[in-house]
């Protein structure tokens, strides 16, 4: 046990001693009342002796109880506490899921999102984030270890993909609930559609700069799971190869997830491999499983995180002081009686 304010004890004990000496000296002095002569016979009676014995016992008890309550309060002011340390292992890997939410990607996005829940459930300290893009990029989840929140967002994305794949025409959105769930995965990504759609390079480049401390911390493993079919319509600010070179510069591995048919397959595949990653398509029935295994194989080191917890426990001292004072007041009333 430790004391947060030990000086209270150092100051309080001398004060208690001084007050005790002063009160003892004062109690020896005669004050008030009248002296009575020839009380010897009365003092020898058994009734008087019993009352005096009880009085002395009560007096000692009162002093003891008062001291107990004062000392308890003094120790409370000193704030006794216990310190414990917990050491946990944290993997220093950051993972971003970057989804192309254009109409041609719902099937792939659904497969990726469903299996990402398994990946997230098995994380141990890694940070995970989610971005979506079409004409613009939207950050749904910044890097976090709040896996419960990440899983909730993945559930909403899964529901949106299923709704999008099941609609035959826009009359499907007559149901406000379906419409709001569908809009969850595209809201904000089409705000600037004058530039085109599926701006692949912009989506990847925007995700790069969601990673923290890119310039100053090169100890973390950084990974992007990039779901897109590479069907570019319009003029992006950043071309895919430029974004891939940025990933290489910052040591970010990109693993692509694409449908069976990929626009400019060879170029897309080269860009993924340029970052140290790879490309996986629905041509393989185990596309997402292979992708997850590749992500899990990325290098990562274990960080030892030590946290110190301080616990204070005033409850016992409060109970002791309260009980002592209650008994003190009961005894004081008996003496007066």
pLDDT in tens, the chain (337 residues): 778 788 888 888 888 788 777 776 655 555 566 666 666 666 778 887 788 888 888 888 888 888 888 888 888 888 888 888 877 666 678 999 999 988 888 888 998 998 899 889 888 888 999 999 988 899 999 999 999 999 999 999 999 998 888 765 555 566 677 788 888 888 888 876 666 677 899 999 999 999 988 888 888 889 999 999 888 887 888 999 999 999 999 999 999 998 888 888 999 999 999 999 999 988 888 888 888 888 888 876 666 667 787 888 788 888 888 898 888 888 887 776 5
Which parts of 79-208 fold into alpha helices (H)? 106-121, 147-166, 176-183, 200-208
d(CA 284, CA 224): 20
> With left for phi above 0 and alpha for psi between -120 and 50, is residue 212 left, alpha or beta?
beta
116 alpha carbon, distance to own chain's centre: 22
DSSP state, residue 243: H
d(CA 227, CA 134): 12
d(CA 226, CA 229): 10
Contact 96, 225 (CB under 8 A): yes
Domain residue extents for the chain: 2-25+41-79+314-336, 89-305
d(CA 222, CA 224): 7
d(CA 263, CA 261): 7
Pairing type for strands 137-144 and 127-133 reads antiparallel
**Token digits of residue 114:** 């469903």
pLDDT of residue 172: 59
Going from the C-alpha of 279 to that of each of 97, 112, 208, 262, the distances in angstroms are 14, 13, 18, 10
Among 244, 172, 236, smallest CA distance to 208 is for 244
Contact 109, 100 (CB under 8 A): yes
**Token digits of residue 71:** 């000392």
The length of the chain is 337
d(CA 337, CA 333): 6
Contact 114, 156 (CB under 8 A): no
**Token digits of residue 49:** 């002796």
Please compute Rg for the chain using Cα positions. Answer: 38
The structure tokens 């397959």 sit at: 265
* 89-305 carries CATH number 3.40.50.410: yes
3-state helix, strand, coil in the chain (%, to 5): 50, 20, 30
pTM here? 0.63
Contact 65, 324 (CB under 8 A): yes
Beta partners for 225?
97, 255
Q: Apex CA 37: angle with CA 32 and CA 43, to 5°? A: 95
Maximum pairwise Cα distance, the chain: 123
The structure tokens 């141990």 sit at: 124
In this structure, how many other beta carbons lie within 10 angstroms of the beta carbon of residue 190?
13
**Alpha-carbon torsion (323, 325, 326, 332), positive or negative:** positive
Strand positions, DSSP E, 42-165: 80-91, 93-100, 127-133, 137-144
d(CA 78, CA 41): 53
């Amino acid at each position: 046990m430790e004391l947060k304010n030990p000086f209270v004890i150092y100051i309080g004990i001398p004060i208690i001693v001084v007050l005790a000496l002063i009160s003892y000296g004062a109690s020896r002095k005669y004050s008030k009342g009248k002296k009575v002569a020839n009380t010897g016979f009365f003092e020898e009676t058994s009734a008087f002796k019993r009352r005096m014995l009880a009085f002395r016992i009560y007096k000692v008890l009162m002093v003891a109880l008062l001291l107990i309550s004062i000392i308890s309060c003094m120790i409370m002011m000193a704030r006794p506490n216990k310190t414990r340390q917990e050491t946990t292992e944290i993997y220093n890997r950051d993972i971003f899921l970057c989804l192309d939410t254009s109409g041609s990607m719902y099937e792939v996005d659904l497969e990726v999102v469903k299996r990402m829940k398994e990946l997230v459930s098995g994380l141990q300290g890694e940070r995970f984030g989610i971005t979506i893009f079409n004409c613009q990029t939207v950050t749904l989840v910044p890097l976090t270890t709040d896996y419960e929140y990440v899983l909730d967002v993945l559930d909403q994305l899964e529901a949106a993909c299923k709704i999008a794949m099941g609609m035959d025409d826009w009359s499907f959105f007559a149901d406000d609930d379906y419409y709001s769930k569908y809009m969850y995965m595209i809201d904000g990504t089409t705000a600037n559609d004058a530039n085109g759609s599926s701006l692949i390079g912009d989506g990847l480049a925007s995700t790069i700069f969601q990673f923290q401390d890119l310039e100053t911390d090169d100890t973390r493993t950084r990974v992007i799971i990039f779901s897109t079919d590479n069907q570019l319509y319009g003029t992006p600010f950043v071309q895919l190869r430029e974004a891939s070179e940025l990933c290489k510069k910052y040591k970010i591995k990109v693993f692509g997830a694409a449908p069976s048919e990929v626009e400019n397959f060879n170029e897309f595949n080269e860009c993924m491999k340029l970052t140290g990653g790879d490309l996986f398509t629905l041509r393989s029935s185990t596309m997402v499983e292979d992708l997850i295994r590749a992500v899990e194989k990325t290098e990562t080191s274990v960080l030892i995180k030590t946290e110190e917890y301080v616990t204070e426990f005033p409850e016992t001292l409060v109970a002791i002081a309260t009980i002592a004072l209650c008994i003190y007041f009961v005894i004081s009333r008996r003496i007066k009686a």
